[in-house]
Amino acid sequence: MKIFRLSLMATAAAATLALPTIASARLWLLPSETMFAGNGDEWVTVDFANSTDLFYFDHPAPQMEPVIFAPDGTQVQAENKGKGRFRATFDIHLTQKGTYKVAAISNAVFGSYTLNGEEKRLPRGTTAETLAQAIPAGATDVKTTVMAGRVETFLTAGEPTNTVFKATGEGLEMVPVTHPNDLIAGEKATFQFLLNGKPAANLPVVAIPGGVRYRGDLKQVDARTDAEGKVTFTWSDAGMYWISVTTAPPRPAPAAEGAPRPEPAPRPPRIDSYAATFEVLGS
Amino acid sequence: MQIRHSLILTGIAAVGAGAAPSALAETLDLTVTLPRMTVAEYHPPYVAIWLEKEGSPARTLSVWYDVDKPKNAGTKWLRDIRLWWRVSGRSMQFPADGVSGATRGPGTHKVSIPAGKLGNGAYTLVIEASREAGGREAVRVPFTVSGGKGSGKAAGTSELGAVALTVKP
């Protein structure tokens, strides 16, 4: 893995890649609720969808299969899985006490190569594991970007616990300073972001409350991680929030009237992103 | 309820045996009004009553919920007493002796709660009511205990009416 990635960086570093633009739609997991009594026999249902406005179903349902981590660190199976046009849905039987994590983890490779003088795109669905097969022998000018992402949400039965936050050291991860199932409107909450296990400093973080369809203001809060990778939000209202962090370079500012369109920034060899849905409760 | 309370009192008294009567546990006499609602669907609220003192963890005194539901099913909705759930409820086991009690309907309720030995100082009694198909409200009653005595009152505006308390040795 490691060696492979290094070589990818070398080939892609100098090139501006012709890739599909990052979709403006947002990927999210939405649990029916996040706090449970912890009596060992409770259920939650979770929607998994992709949309521009939060949290409405208006894009084709994602293809990924989320994984569920129980408070004891083991993985548990989703129940009653179903998929509609606009959303995937599943239930989780909460039999343990503590905090569960639901995570949709992706690791896609986008890019192109030249074969017999013709530029070809990598097929959709290429991953780091299948990349070698996706590039035919004799291909030259291989340009790739790994898009690694995590989309998460958290559920707590009884008292919040921290087992599921143990970082893997791969990609962008969130380590709570304030537990994500202990968020109250008007109070401060701090989260630390790690990139490959190290503090992810100076990255843009956005927080957007759901329900935008019924208000005029998006109410997006923009923040930036500090040297320790930490960011602090004060929640203005109770509700479900979508939080997102990315290492993607910012989009260039739009050109002035009459000026030539700015060159897009070169696509880096790897883009990591993290998003999570948090429930903020009223006081 | 009453029996459980008196059992606890006995226990505390045993610990304090031999001390002067004033050093024994205090009793918290509480009057709570649950307002009568003109609503199509009424369920008696879940109510939590707890004590806060700066520097100490919140201490749950009473929780009124559907204690008689089979399989302890009434506990599922305890987390809807949201403030209490966060400060104390989620770390407790239910049913809890001396704490669990049945829900109560509209009207004025007098309850006498053994509060243990309350030292001198500033306290806040918090009562929070959460009603199925209804709202939620918490009322905070600040009071000062001096020599085992104190009193305070406050009132809610939606889910709770007048709340008055007296601490006596």
Q: Is A282 on the interface with B (CB under 8 A)?
A: yes
pLDDT (tens digit, 9 = 90+) per residue, B22-79?
Answer: 457 899 999 999 999 999 999 999 999 999 999 999 999 999 999 999 988 999 999 9
Domain count, chain A: 1
* pLDDT for position B83: 95
Using the Cβ of B78 and the Cβ atoms of chain A, whether some distance falls under 8 Å is answered with yes
- How many angstroms separate the CA of residue B13 from the nearest CA in chain A? 32
Say yes or no: A182 contacts chain B, CB-CB below 8 A.
Answer: yes
- Which residues of chain A fall below pLDDT 70? 1-24
pLDDT of B8 strictly over 50: no
pLDDT at site B5: 43
Range of the domain at B68: 2-168
In angstroms, the separation between the Cα of residue A182 and the nearest Cα of chain B is: 8
Contact A39 B72 (CB under 8 A): yes
Helix, strand, coil share (%) of chain B residues, nearest 5: 20, 40, 35
Q: Does B120 touch chain A (CB under 8 A)?
A: no
Residue A10's domain spans which residues? Answer: 2-281
Instruction: Using CA coordinates, name the residue in chain B closest to A160.
Output: B90
Closest CA to A93 of A46, A30, A150: A46
For the record, the structure tokens of A275 come out as 């998003």
Q: What CATH number corresponds to the domain at position B90?
A: 2.60.40
Cβ separation of B82 and A159 shorter than 8 Å?
Answer: no
State percent of chain B over pLDDT 90: 81
CB A246 within 8 A of CB A61: no
Contacts of A281 in chain B (CB under 8 A): 82, 86
In chain B, DSSP finds a helix count (H) and a strand count (E) of 2, 9
d(CA A249, CA A213): 28
- DSSP letter assigned to residue A58: -
Check if A264 contacts B (Cβ < 8 Å): no
DSSP-derived pairing of the beta strands A239-246 and A270-281: antiparallel
The answer on pLDDT for B21 being more than 60 is: no
pLDDT at B16 over 90: no
**pLDDT digit string (tens) for B101-141?**
999 999 999 999 998 889 999 999 999 999 999 999 999 99
Query: Among A252, A282, A283, A248, which residue's Cα sits nearest to residue A267?
Result: A248
Q: Tell whether A184 lies on the interface with B, counting CB pairs under 8 A.
A: yes
Cβ contacts of B81 on chain A, cutoff 8 Å: none
* Gap between the Cα atoms of B102 and A66, Å rounded: 41
pLDDT for the residue numbered B146: 95
Residues in Cβ contact with A108 at an 8 Å cutoff, skipping those fewer than 6 apart = A125, A126, A127, A146, A147
pLDDT of residue B23: 54
pLDDT of residue A24: 64
Q: Reduced to 3 states, what is the DSSP secondary structure of residue A133? A: helix
Burial of A113 (0-12, 13-18, 19+ CB in 10 A): buried
Q: Which helix (H) or strand (E) holds A144?
A: strand A140-157
Distance CA A252, CA A246 (A): 16
Q: What is the pLDDT of residues A37-49, one digit of tens each?
A: 999 999 999 999 9
The pLDDT score that the predictor gives to residue A253 is 74
- CB contact, 8 Å: A204 with chain B? no
Binary contact (B85, A35; C-beta < 8 A): yes
Q: Which residues pair with A149 in a beta bridge?
A: A106, A273
Whether the Cβ atoms of residue A155 and residue A180 lie closer than 8 Å to each other: no
CA B72/CA A249 separation, integer angstroms = 53
For residue B155, give the H/E element and its range: strand B150-155
Query: What is the tally of structural domains in chain B?
Result: 1
Return the pLDDT at B12.
38
Give CA–CA dist A151/A106, Å, rounded.
9
Q: Per-residue pLDDT for B151 more than 90?
A: yes
Tokens of B15: 């610990």
Residue A21 confidence (pLDDT): 39
The per-residue pLDDT for B150 is: 96
Residues of A in contact with B77 (CB under 8 A): 37
* Six-digit token string for A47: 């929607």
| Mutation target among A32, A35, A183 for the B interface, most CBs of B within 10 A | A35
Q: What is the DSSP string of A79-99?
A: EEEEE-SS-EEEEEEE-SSEE
